[in-house]
Amino acid sequence: MLTLFFVTLVVCCLIRLAPGEPLGAGPEEEIGMRVSAAARAELRALYHLDQPPHRQYGLWLSDLLRGDLGRSFHDRRPVAERIGERLGVTVALNVLSLLLALAVALPLGLLAALRPGSTFDRLAGGASYLLYAVPVFWAGLLLQIVCYGRLDWLPLAGLRSPESEYLGPAGRFLDLAAHFVLPVLCLSYGSLAYLSRFVRATLIENAAGESWRAARARGLSLASVLVRHGLRQAGVPLLTLASLLLPGLVGGSVIVETVFAIPGLGRLFVESAFQRDMPVLLGLTLLSGAATLLGILLADLAYAVVDPRVRRA
């Protein structure tokens, strides 16, 4: 908890130190659109911008202890509301992309570890590095052009079709699912590549160990050893990795959200930074920090499940 509050204090100070205030017009100023000095002073007081950073942070903290994340500087809506309306979408997208990445990466890594150096292993490795190198915005636009523009298989962007209001619950669910396909693909291919190589490397590292030699000596096939022993051994580092990925589930991806017009937390974070919207940034930092702590806790609990030695200890 101390770490969490320290992080939010640092974020608060960084925002205050950044040049520019949340008040003011956008990139194209209009002659006549100038706030008077008196009005500007009133607004600065309203937003506590006339307070030093530590005092402004203290005000935020006292509101937080009452369960209030404050109001956005940008549109004056509650921060909890702004985050809440995007949190579900972001988590859903990221969970699905993580599951897809794991579902493909595990068998791919397993099969590659089965015959290290084989043609399949080399092809899988090459494909993984290629996928990892592809920029997300390029992949997103390409998927849109092919799957929407040329083939008309999937919707372009957003979360729902214009006609979804006329559909029943099942239709709306399928409509939503269809809108998730391309963003999830874009979010998953990079981590898929990374995870498959990670699984492969972990399994190969353990293959030379005594437990595997003993299992093979008992007559188990290599495939059986990989599945029964290898996955379990790879589970510990994989869980560590997964716990590090948990904050990313609420982090969002500003590029994917922009290309696919998804109202997610990634865009909210970037927009709030440009708008100097301190309450929203602090709320998002708090969320991300809490997700990190939760990820570490879940990883510790999962170790005990996967590794009996941890339970006995």
Three-state secondary structure call for residue 71 = strand
Helix (H/G/I), strand (E/B), else coil: 78: strand
Stretch touching another protein by CB under 8 A, among 78-86, 91-99, 186-194, 218-226: 78-86
| Binding window for another protein (CB under 8 A); candidates: 58-66, 160-168, 210-218, 292-300 | 160-168
Token digits of residue 56: 């402004």
Q: In terms of C-beta density within 10 A (0-12 exposed, 13-18 middle, 19 or more buried), how is residue 222 classed? A: middle
Other Cβ atoms less than 10 A from the Cβ of 10: the count is 12
Measured from the CB atom, is 85 or 300 closer to another protein?
85
Considering the rule CB under 8 A, would residue 136 count as an interface residue with another protein? no
Please report, as a single letter, which amino acid is at residue 171.
Answer: G
Helix or strand (DSSP H, E) at 108 = helix 79-114
For residue 117, count CB atoms less than 10 angstroms from its CB and return exposed for 0-12, middle for 13-18, buried for 19 or more: exposed
Residue count of the chain, please give it.
313
Check binding of 209 to another protein (CB under 8 A): no
Of the candidate residues 4, 131, 156, 294, the single one contacting another protein (CB under 8 A): 156
Size of the site for another protein (CB under 8 A): 67
Interface with another protein by CB under 8 A: which range of 2-10, 142-150, 242-250, 295-303? 142-150
Q: How far is the CB of 163 from another protein (least distance, A)?
A: 7
Residue ranges binding another protein (CB under 8 A): 18-21, 23-39, 42-43, 46, 71, 74-77, 82, 85-86, 141, 144-145, 148-149, 152-163, 171, 174-175, 177-179, 181, 258-264, 267, 271, 274, 276
